[in-house]
Amino acid sequence: MRRFKFRLQTALEVTRRREDVLYQELKKRQAAYQQAAEELSRLQKLHAKLAEDLNRSCREGLAAEMIRLFKNYMQVLEEELKQQKTAVDRKKAELERCRAELLFYMKKRKVMEKLRQRRWEEYCYWLQREEQKELDETAASRFIANQEA
C-alpha cells in the first residue's frame, strides 16, 4: 500500500518556519516600540516640568541669563521630542507591517493545514476501501475454494 504523502508538506514547513521567525521579529518590534514610547513619555514629562519651572522662575524674578538658558534648553528638548515622535511613528509602522505579514502567513498556514487534513481524510477513506477490497477478495477466494472442495 502506498504511504500518505502531502505534496505541499515542504511549503507548509517553510510557511511554519516563516511564521515563527515573524513572531519573534514581532516580539522584538513590540519591545522596541514600547521602549521608544516610554522614552517619548519621559521627554514629554521633562518638557512639562521644565515649562512649569520656567513659569515659576519668571514669577520669582530669576535672572535674564537663566531664563535664556531655560528657553534654549526647552528648544533643544522640543527638537528631541520631534525626533522621538518620528521614531515612535516609524517603529509603530514597522510593527504594523510585521503584524500584517505575520497574519498573512498565519492564514496561509491554516489554509494549507486544512488542505492537508482534507487530503489525510481522503487517504484514510481510500485506505479503508482498499482494505475492504482485499477482505472481499479473500472472502470470495475462500468461498470459491470451499465450493470446489
Domain count, the chain: 1
pTM as predicted: 0.75
- 124 domain residue, yes or no: no
- 119 domain residue, yes or no: no
- 139 domain residue, yes or no: no
- 2 domain residue, yes or no: no
pLDDT at 75: 92
- 32 domain residue, yes or no: yes
**Hey, what amino acid is at 63?**
A
Question: What digits encode the pLDDT tens for the residues 136-145?
Answer: 999 999 988 8
- 67 domain residue, yes or no: yes
- 24 domain residue, yes or no: yes
Question: What digits encode the pLDDT tens for the residues 11-66?
Answer: 999 999 999 999 999 999 999 999 999 999 999 999 999 888 888 877 777 777 87
* C-alpha distance from residue 127 to each of 39, 107, 111, 123, 133 (Å): 62, 30, 24, 6, 10
Please answer whether residues 109 and 16 qualify as being in contact, where contact means their C-beta atoms are separated by less than 8 angstroms: yes
- 120 domain residue, yes or no: no
Q: For residue 81, what are the domain limits?
A: 9-110
